[in-house]
A and B are shown apart, each in its own frame.
Chain A
Amino acid sequence: MTAIAVAEATGYPAAPLRPETMPDPAAPPAVAPAVALTGLRKRFAAGGAVALDEVSLRVETGEIFGIVGRSGAGKSTLIRCVNLLERPDAGQVQVLGQDLLALGEAGLRQARRGIGMVFQHFNLHHRRTVAENIAFSLEIAGATRAERRARVAELLPLVGLEAKRDAYPAQLSGGQKQRVGIARALASAPRLLLCDEATSALDPETTAEILALIRDLRDRLALTVLLITHEMGVVQAICDRVAVMEAGRIIEQGRVFDLFTAPREKVTRRFVSEVIGDAVPLAALARLPAPPPGQRRVLLRVLFRGPHATRPVIGEAAARYGIALNILSGRIDAIAGEPFGIMVLAAEAPPEALAACLAWMRGLGLAVEELAA
């Protein structure tokens, strides 16, 4: 499936097939992690809810790492701990090789200049033009007017806003405002970009554009990106790895493809099913006639992945084992550039044939799961 076809099918741009920057999980990382959080704990009010509960996280240099969770799961607090907008009660924050918690105020300000941040509501200065907004971080770092002009002139084409140089934020669309936000975050040439729900205030089409831009910038500028979102579609579109947060803890993490195709936790499953749509249509289920005598009916959720993802397994199974297969729902998609298919089948056969068929399918490396009918 081509990237364009994926984009059309999902509404989000597809990740490039096997990005070079994607770390091989088997090999030890060649460079130090961009972000290493260890045992972070945070509670906002004494006796109040725990925002972070022993959270540890490693973001490797060059990857796009997503943290997904419902609102209140603690993901916002977590990302704000990375540049210490929020100070954890306990734990360690290593960013780009620096122990941020050990820095004094001036040192922290310096370190923050190496970490760009993009916000859900853009947070632009209303009374500054696009160019003046982008130049803000340079201005506070003491760059001269000429230096600022030159840098803004480099950044505007990068985000496609050459024509809006002197416009004010109120004159821009949401997508354009976020482009300004991104250019502003990149002005000080950071190596790490934090995205705090960067596309949550945007419509789906604009979301796709902004995500494509972020991925493109990651590739061109060798950035590391840490983003938080409540939309699994964002993770599917651009992330290399993902962590799922719930009640202040990271409950599951891994490569996006693995997490999507083999989620372990219930919360993860719920998130995943939002995107891959493997829910069984109840109306279709109710209309199935009772199986003939001597036959058993099971509902199967079959996940096609790996080398046999493209093999015509359904037809083969029907022919080999004499099973009546009824497709209730199905979808073929790509996640993080890898194709996969998911299907819910009603299978009717004598019990022995059914068992043999399931064993055969599992032998091919397909994930087959019996659903409660």
Chain B
Amino acid sequence: MSWLTPTLQDLLLEAFWETLAMVGVSAAIAVAIGLPIALLLHVTGRGGLSPLPWLHRPLGILVNAVRSTPFIILMVAIIPFTRLVAGTSIGTAAAIVPLALAATAFLARLFENALREVDGGVVEAARAMGASRMQIVWKVLVPEALPGLIAAVTVALVSLVGFSAMAGAVGGGGLGDLGIRFGYQRFMPEVMATVVLLLILFVQGLQSLGDWLVRRLSRR
């Protein structure tokens, strides 16, 4: 393990924190924006609580547009927007903006699917009991879909770990970037192996945590 110099240890640790920051912050933003979008998509869809095709269709198209843009291109394409939001177009903070955007679109779809899984009968029962639309959303749809929503967040987090490896393109740092720069470009396969191992452990941890939460919450 002679290659694992103190300097490299520090680099690995720093890269890990960067990955954690990019994934964590962009996921938090994606949940905060993606859930309302998913609810809007679900509620305004055909057979929803308030079908509004004029809102549902453009919103769906927008979500699909973001989802179909390859991340590496999205990252570069929205640089002006990134500069506006983050004040800079390079670094970890700048990487978070496109990551959050991609994850929001991704999560919005996954959340919408989770909401669709909610038993329509429960919603109908709530309507029959005189619940308002807001009450149905917050007291029926979201709580009943919670295990599915958590599972969706888990999937999104794992995808974000993958996306974050591309953040090196805008100087965002992180484990993936370290693997490319040291492991590939400086011919240090040990570093590459370490990075990959760390990522595997990280993703396993995320997935296990997500699965555990879903099991705890589902009550089925």
Contacts and interface: CB of A to CB of B under 8 A. Distances in A.
Are A and B bound to each other? yes
A287 interface: no
Contacts of A136: 126, 129, 139
Given A109-B132, A170-B219, A140 B139 contact: yes
Contacts of A125: 122, 140, 143-144
B127 interface: yes
A117 B124 CA distance: 10
Contact of A110 (B122, B130, B220): B130
A170 B119 contact: no
Contacts of A188: 129-130
Interface in B162-203: none
A15 B146 CA distance: 44
Contact of A113 (B130, B146, B218): B130
A127 B217 contact: yes
B220 A170 contact: yes
A126 B148 CA distance: 13
Nearest to B121: A123
A81 interface: no
Nearest to B134: A140
Contact of A127 (B127, B131, B144): B144
B140 A85 contact: no
A127 B131 CA distance: 18
Contacts of A110: 130
Contacts of A150: none
A123 B144 contact: no
Contacts, number: 73
A117 B125 contact: yes
Bin chain A's interface residue count. Answer: 20 to 34
Nearest to A124: B122
B125 to A, nearest CB: 4
A180 B152 CA distance: 31
A126 B220 contact: yes
Contacts of B130: 108-113, 137, 140-141, 188
A147 interface: no
B84 interface: no
A160 to B, nearest CB: 21
B86 to A, nearest CB: 38
Interface residues of B, number: 23
Contacts of B124: 85, 119, 123
B220 A113 contact: no
A83 interface: yes
A139 interface: yes
A183 B140 CA distance: 18
Contact of B121 (A111, A119, A139): A119
B128 interface: yes
B144 A85 contact: no
A121 interface: yes
A169 B218 CA distance: 11
B143 A85 contact: no
Interface in A179-200: 184, 188, 194
Interface in A47-80: none
18 contacts: A85-B128, A112-B127, A112-B130, A117-B128, A117-B129, A123-B119, A123-B124, A124-B122, A125-B143, A128-B143, A136-B126, A137-B130, A140-B131, A140-B135, A140-B139, A170-B219, A184-B129, A188-B129
Nearest to B122: A123
Nearest to A137: B129
A46 to B, nearest CB: 16
B129 A113 contact: yes
Nearest to B120: A123
A127 B148 CA distance: 12
Instruction: Identify the 8 closest CB pairs spanning chains A and B, nearest first.
Output: A123-B121, A112-B130, A123-B125, A109-B130, A137-B129, A117-B128, A113-B130, A168-B219
A123 B125 CA distance: 6
Contacts of A115: 128
Interface in A252-295: none
Given A125-B143, A127-B146, 11 more contacts: A85-B124, A85-B127, A112-B127, A112-B130, A119-B121, A125-B122, A125-B140, A126-B144, A127-B144, A137-B129, A140-B131
